[in-house]
Amino acid sequence: MSKFYMTSDELIESISRRILVPLNQSTFSEQDFLDFATEEMNLGVVPTVISNHEDYYVFSEDVTLVALQTKYDIPYRAIGNKLKDVYLVDSGDNLFEMTRVQKSDTVSSADTAHYLGSNLSRFYIENNQVCLTVDPDIVTATYSLRFSYYLRPNALVP
């Protein structure tokens, strides 16, 4: 029965055997083989896994809201900077689904009373950031944002 995993040394040895690399060659380093495998994983394996097992790479991360701040960075390991879902989380760990809107649909100050508490429910994306559509004066640290996204796998290393 074969293993379902390989160490990087075993992977490099397998690649060298399969492509018949001479022992004294200097064209490719071991890191080149790992870089090729990482690239193939990112371009071929990950999209296939996501298309067949939709939530396999989904990861959630909570970011505490900061008073008077309405913009939060999308996690850097999100594949394609794409968010699957954004939730508002209260102190009781209750989730409130947020709705993505266009920047032009921002809330006027007259509407901010509607967005207090769990009704803080709209955001737009701008410059790799999630931007809340409310007056910054009502943002408090009693809530968190939960970003749900497809986690980019690590690069292969020796």
Cβ atoms of residues 138 and 112 within 8 Å: yes
What is the predicted pLDDT for the residue at 107?
52
Q: Is residue 72 scored above 80 in pLDDT?
A: yes
Of 69, 72, 89, 90, nearest to 135 by C-alpha is 69
Question: What are 95's strand-pairing partners?
Answer: 89
Residue range 128-156, pLDDT digits in tens: 999 988 877 767 767 899 999 999 888 88
Q: Is residue 119 scored above 50 in pLDDT?
A: no
> Whole-angstrom Cα distance, residue 89 to residue 141?
11
What value does the mean pLDDT of the chain take? 82
What is the predicted pLDDT for the residue at 153?
87
Question: What are 78's strand-pairing partners?
Answer: 151
What is the predicted pLDDT for the residue at 35?
93
For residue 117, give both structure tokens.
């508490």
Beta strand pairing status for 99-100 and 122-126?
Answer: parallel
- Please indicate whether residue 107 or residue 72 has the higher confidence score (pLDDT): 72
Cβ atoms of residues 94 and 118 within 8 Å: yes
What is the predicted pLDDT for the residue at 105?
66
Element (H, E) at 149: strand 144-151
Q: Is residue 73 scored above 70 in pLDDT?
A: yes
- Please indicate whether residue 117 or residue 92 has the higher confidence score (pLDDT): 92
For residue 52, give both structure tokens.
């067949």
Give the other-Cβ count within 10 Å of 133's Cβ: 22
Lowest-pLDDT range, 9-18, 23-32, 60-69, 98-107?
98-107
